[in-house]
């Protein structure tokens, strides 16, 4: 329900590409291709001077053939930046903290401790086994070659040995052995002219090699960009990897790996099997990584909703959003990078509500009111009033069409409501006859809410706020000492969250910015001197338990009835508190 959930299009972008010696040139080449397509002003962090471990700027530019790029080269980050793009093999959390980023951090094929703390992860290459899932995994994002063979080769005549663009002639000894043992035409990829071994031809390629790959029948390389580029060009690939890290990636992706030149000879005699394996790994199509980045928005809020610093670990990632866990209080919060897509208009309460619940909001009014009567029964048992000559004052934030207001009024409260839907407020004012205003609770001054109140309520509303801390400050500034704050929200500790947590988050609505359990909600509220008085677990759904079969039909009437397991699951859900929603009442003790 925040009025400003997405910032304007990002303007400042920082590129941090891998330039460590011995870590390949693919990261540099990819960033050089991405940069011209990015929307914004781009800084590329690449120090002028190198050292024993890192290439300097001139050396790195020589590797990528000195392209004329629309960037400002910087020796150190000069943020704040709206977007930081990390195209590195790995990064630490300490390095992330040094980047001076005010927006989102996008990791491309990134590993290391810092991976979990990135806003958005793109894996164009296979991740190591056990690595946290990315937001997007698609080898088609590798900016694949235009030059593609019409079909896979049926025999091998020409072999390319290509071990990266850092060292000219890397793999020359192996190339010579392959030429000697196979008798085939063997080419060695080199960034500049070098002395080729006997019986090996030199393929000098300045810059990227990708458009020349289709000329060959087999490519021997290590795990990385060249391997996938060759597959896209319909050229079989076998790998010889420099270490365990690359080997683990190769096995996870399904590549064929060899150790000696004799292994290469064996695969050239069984091309059909090799091609079939490569066909399964080949990217399914091409995508544009720069376009994907340009489509991502910067959320208005990047810090946790309550407490903790910016850098918190992600727990689940999806194509449009990432869920993080605040290590300070356990609260899980969501960042949406494509907008929440929800507007609280007529359709939200009618057609959309009916799609979810089988009836419109007004058709469901009696049931919602009945739940409100039960809630008020709990609340009135706990409310403390110093002045018993007047009814308790109650404010319902997000009152919608007013079923709870009507229930509270019938139990003797002096009620008023606020909502951002003008249609709902009009119904409350003119049909139900209760005072209500069409305002954003965070869009007005605290005094404009006309507190203090004895009771403030929010029924399935609290999860819609990114600025939960501002919201709760607004609540307590309008509560009397001893006043009650009551709310309801989805329950992470319910059966759906326990049984398949990833699916629970995948199905979480795109405008739910926080996901709570009773324990995390109590921890968050204590920060605002709101102390838990009562929790009621609601939303019991026996059919969501794995062991519950579909109901059976009555042979006489045709009606469906649940059966014993349904009853058992319902009983277990209530006894163990496994409902998918909960209600909490907290007392304000300043």
Instruction: Report strand pairing: 321-325 vs 332-336.
Output: antiparallel
Checking if the pLDDT of 561 tops 70, the result is: no
Checking if the pLDDT of 177 tops 70, the result is: yes
| Residue 242: CA count within 13 A, CB half-sphere | 12
The pLDDT value given to residue 5: 43
Torsional sign, CA 538, 542, 547, 550? negative
Angle, CA of 406, 450 and 490, to the nearest 5°: 55
Tell me 407's DSSP state: H
Asked if the bond preceding 80 is cis, omega within 30° of 0, the reply is yes
Checking if the pLDDT of 322 tops 90, the result is: yes
Give the tokens for residue 430. Answer: 């003119």
Q: Say if CB 334 and CB 320 are below 8 A apart.
A: no
Q: Say if CB 213 and CB 219 are below 8 A apart.
A: yes
Instruction: Report strand pairing: 12-17 vs 41-45.
Output: parallel
Mean predicted confidence (pLDDT) in 362-391: 91
In the block, which residue shows the tokens 């021997």? 220
The pLDDT value given to residue 450: 93
Checking if the pLDDT of 273 tops 70, the result is: yes
Beta strand segments in 119-278, E: 120-123, 136-137, 158-161, 185-190, 200-204, 218-221, 237-239, 256-257
pTM score of the predicted model: 0.88
The pLDDT value given to residue 50: 84
Buried b (16+ CB within 10 A) or exposed e, 566-587: beebbebbeeebbbbbbbbbbb
Give the tokens for residue 304. Answer: 């946790």
Checking if the pLDDT of 347 tops 90, the result is: no
Residues 6+ away with beta carbon under 8 Å from 49: 56, 57
Checking if the pLDDT of 558 tops 80, the result is: no
C-alpha 16/C-alpha 98 separation (Å) is 12
Buried b (16+ CB within 10 A) or exposed e, 266-275: ebbeebeebb
**pLDDT-based confidence at residue 13 (cuts at 50, 70, 90):** very high
CATH fold, domain 158-281, is Rossmann fold (3.40.50)
State what percent of residues in the chain have pLDDT above 90: 64
C-alpha 156/C-alpha 133 separation (Å) is 37
Higher pLDDT, 562 or 419: 419
Assigned superfamily of 392-588: Vaccinia Virus protein VP39 (3.40.50.150)
Higher pLDDT, 65 or 450: 450
Q: Say if CB 120 and CB 109 are below 8 A apart.
A: no
Of 470, 466, 469, 435, give the one whose Cα is nearest residue 453.
Answer: 435
Q: Say if CB 171 and CB 161 are below 8 A apart.
A: yes
C-alpha 93/C-alpha 150 separation (Å) is 46
pLDDT in tens, 216-230: 999 999 998 899 999
C-alpha 549/C-alpha 141 separation (Å) is 42
Question: Across the beta sheet with 321-325, what order do the strands follow?
Answer: 314-317, 321-325, 332-336, 514-515
Which of 275-289, 333-347, 514-528 shows the lowest per-residue confidence on average (mean pLDDT)?
333-347
Q: What average pLDDT does the chain have?
A: 89
Mean predicted confidence (pLDDT) in 469-490: 97
The pLDDT value given to residue 170: 61
pLDDT in tens, 409-460: 999 999 999 999 999 999 999 999 999 999 999 999 999 999 899 999 999 9
Angle, CA of 361, 364 and 365, to the nearest 5°: 85
The pLDDT value given to residue 282: 95
Q: Say if CB 196 and CB 247 are below 8 A apart.
A: no
Which of 2-11, 160-169, 297-306, 506-515 shows the lowest per-residue confidence on average (mean pLDDT)?
2-11
Checking if the pLDDT of 206 tops 80, the result is: no
Secondary structure class of 203 (helix, strand, coil) = strand
């Amino acid at each position: 329900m925040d009025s400003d959930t997405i910032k304007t299009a990002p303007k400042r972008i920082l590129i941090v590409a891998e330039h460590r010696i011995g870590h390949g040139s693919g990261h540099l080449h990819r960033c050089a291709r991405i940069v011209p397509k990015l929307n914004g002003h781009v800084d590329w962090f690449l120090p002028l001077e190198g050292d024993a471990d890192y290439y300097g700027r001139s050396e790195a530019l020589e590797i990528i053939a000195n392209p004329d790029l629309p960037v400002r080269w910087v020796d150190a980050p000069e943020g704040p930046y709206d977007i930081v793009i990390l195209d590195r093999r790995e990064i630490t959390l300490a390095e992330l903290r040094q980047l001076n980023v005010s927006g989102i951090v996008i990791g491309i094929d990134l590993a290391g401790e810092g991976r979990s703390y990135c806003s958005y992860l793109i894996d164009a290459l296979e991740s190591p086994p056990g690595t946290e899932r990315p937001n997007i995994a698609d080898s088609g994002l590798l900016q694949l070659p235009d030059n593609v063979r019409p079909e896979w080769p049926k025999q091998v005549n020409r072999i390319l040995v290509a071990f990266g663009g850092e060292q000219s002639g890397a793999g020359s000894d192996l190339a010579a052995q392959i030429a000697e043992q196979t008798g085939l035409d063997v080419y060695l990829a080199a960034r500049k002219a070098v002395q080729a071994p006997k019986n090996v031809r030199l393929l000098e390629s300045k810059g990227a090699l990708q458009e020349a790959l289709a000329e060959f029948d087999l490519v021997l390389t290590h795990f990385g960009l060249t391997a996938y580029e060759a597959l896209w060009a319909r050229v079989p690939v076998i790998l010889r990897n420099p270490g365990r890290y690359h080997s683990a990636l190769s096995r996870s992706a399904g590549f064929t790996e060899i150790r000696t030149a004799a292994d290469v000879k064996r695969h050239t005699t069984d091309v059909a099997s090799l091609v079939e394996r490569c066909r399964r790994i080949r990217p399914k199509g091409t995508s544009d990584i720069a376009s994907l980045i340009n489509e991502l928005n910067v959320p208005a809020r990047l810090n946790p909703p309550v407490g903790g610093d910016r850098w918190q670990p992600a727990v689940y990632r999806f194509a449009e959003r990432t869920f993080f866990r605040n290590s300070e209080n356990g609260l899980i919060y969501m960042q949406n990078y494509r907008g929440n897509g929800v507007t609280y208009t007529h359709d939200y309460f009618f057609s959309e509500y009916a799609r979810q619940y089988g009836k419109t909001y007004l058709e469901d009014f009696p049931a919602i009111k009945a739940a409100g009567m039960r809630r008020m029964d709990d609340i009135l048992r706990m409310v403390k009033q110093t002045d018993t000559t007047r009814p308790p004052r109650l404010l319902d934030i997000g009152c919608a069409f007013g079923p709870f207001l009507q229930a509270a009024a019938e139990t003797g409260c002096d009620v008023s409501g606020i909502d951002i839907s003008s249609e709902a407020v009009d119904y409350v004012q003119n049909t139900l006859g209760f005072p209500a205003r069409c305002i954003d609770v965070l869009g007005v001054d605290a005094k404009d809410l006309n507190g203090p109140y004895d009771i403030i309520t929010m029924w399935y509303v609290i999860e819609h706020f990114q600025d939960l801390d501002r919201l709760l400050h607004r609540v307590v500034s309008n509560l009397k000492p001893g006043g009650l704050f009551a709310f309801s929200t989805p329950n992470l500790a319910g059966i759906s969250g326990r049984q398949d947590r990833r699916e629970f988050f995948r199905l979480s609505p795109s405008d739910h910015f926080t996901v709570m359990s009773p324990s995390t909600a109590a921890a968050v509220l204590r920060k605002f001197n709101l102390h838990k008085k009562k929790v009621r677990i609601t939303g019991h759904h026996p059919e969501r338990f794995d062991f519950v079969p579909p109901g059976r039909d009555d042979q006489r009437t045709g009606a469906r009835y649940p059966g014993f397991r349904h009853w058992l699951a319902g009983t277990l859900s209530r006894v163990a508190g496994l409902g998918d929603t909960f209600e909490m009442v907290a007392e304000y003790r300043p």
